Amino acid sequence: MNHISERLSEPCAVRTRKPRGQGASRRGEILEAAKRLFTEEGFAHATMRRIAAEVGVSPTALYLHFADKEAILKAIAEDFFSELLVRLRETQGTTDATLTRLRAGLRAYVEFGLERSDEYRLTFQVREVRTLKDPCAGTDTADLSFEVLVTSVHELMETGLFRPGDPMLVAEAIWVAMHGLTSAAVDLHDRMHSDLNELIDTLISAVITGFAAA
C-alpha cells in the first residue's frame, strides 16, 4: 500500500469545480477522495495537493475544510463510527434477551467492518505511521459505540448471566477478540479456510462462554 513515492512535485490535473455554497457536498467529496488515495497510495504518500486535485479544488480551498491529512483521517473515523453506532443501536433496540442482543451487536460490528473494510483499515491501522495520533482518540461516536458493549456486559453481570467483574475490562477483552477477527477477515481472508459466518458465530460463542456464570 505504501509503495508509491510522494508526489508533491507532480503536475495535477484539477477537475471541474463546483459552484460555491456546496460545503456539505464538498466535504463528502474530499473524504471519498482521501479514502481512495489513503487506501491506494498509503497515508504517508497521499498529499493534500493530491487530494485537492482528486476533488477538483485548489490546495488553498482544501485547507478551508481541513487543516491537514490528520484532520481528514479524523473525519473519516468520525463518520465511520457514527454509522457504526446507528447499526449497533439498531441491534439493541429490541425486546430480545440481553444475551441475544449482545450476539447481534457483536455480529453487526464484524459485518459492518467487512462492509466498510477500507474505512475500518484506515481507522484502526493507519496508526502504524509513527507521527500520527490515534484517529479514534477523542471521537465521541467511537466512545458511544464502545459504550453499547459496556452496557450489555454490565446488564449481563447484573442479571447473573456473566460472572461478576469489571464491565470495562470484560468489554475490552470482547472487543479485542472481535477486532482481531474483523482485521483478519479484512486483510487475511485468503488464508482463512473456514466459512466466515461459522467463524463469527464460533468466536462469539467462545467469548460468551468464557465470561458466562457457572
Nearest to 85 by CA among 131, 147, 33: 147
**Which stretch of 28-37, 85-94, 121-130 has the lowest confidence by average pLDDT?**
121-130
CATH superfamily of domain region 70-211 = Tetracycline Repressor, domain 2 (1.10.357.10)
135-142, Cβ contacts within 8 angstroms, sequence gap of 24 or more = 135/70, 135/73, 135/74, 135/76, 135/77, 136/77, 136/81, 139/74, 139/77, 139/78, 139/81, 140/78, 141/78, 141/81, 141/82, 141/84, 141/85, 142/77, 142/78, 142/81
pLDDT recorded at residue 138: 53
Report phi then psi at 212, rounded to 5: -70, 145
* The CATH number of domain 1-66 is 1.10.10.60: yes
**What's the pTM?**
0.80
Segments making up each domain of the chain, as ranges: 1-66, 70-211
pLDDT in tens, 108-117: 999 999 999 9
Give the bridge partners for 162, in sequence order: 212
Give the bridge partners for 212, in sequence order: 162
Read off the amino acid at residue 143.
D
CA–CA dist 140, 81 (Å, integer): 9
CA–CA dist 207, 50 (Å, integer): 44
pLDDT in tens, 35-87: 999 999 888 889 999 999 999 999 999 999 999 999 999 999 999 999 999 99
CA–CA dist 13, 61 (Å, integer): 15
Q: Could you write out the DSSP letters of every residue in 96-141?
A: S-HHHHHHHHHHHHHHHHHHTHHHHHHHHHGGGSTT---TTTT-HH
CA–CA dist 27, 141 (Å, integer): 19
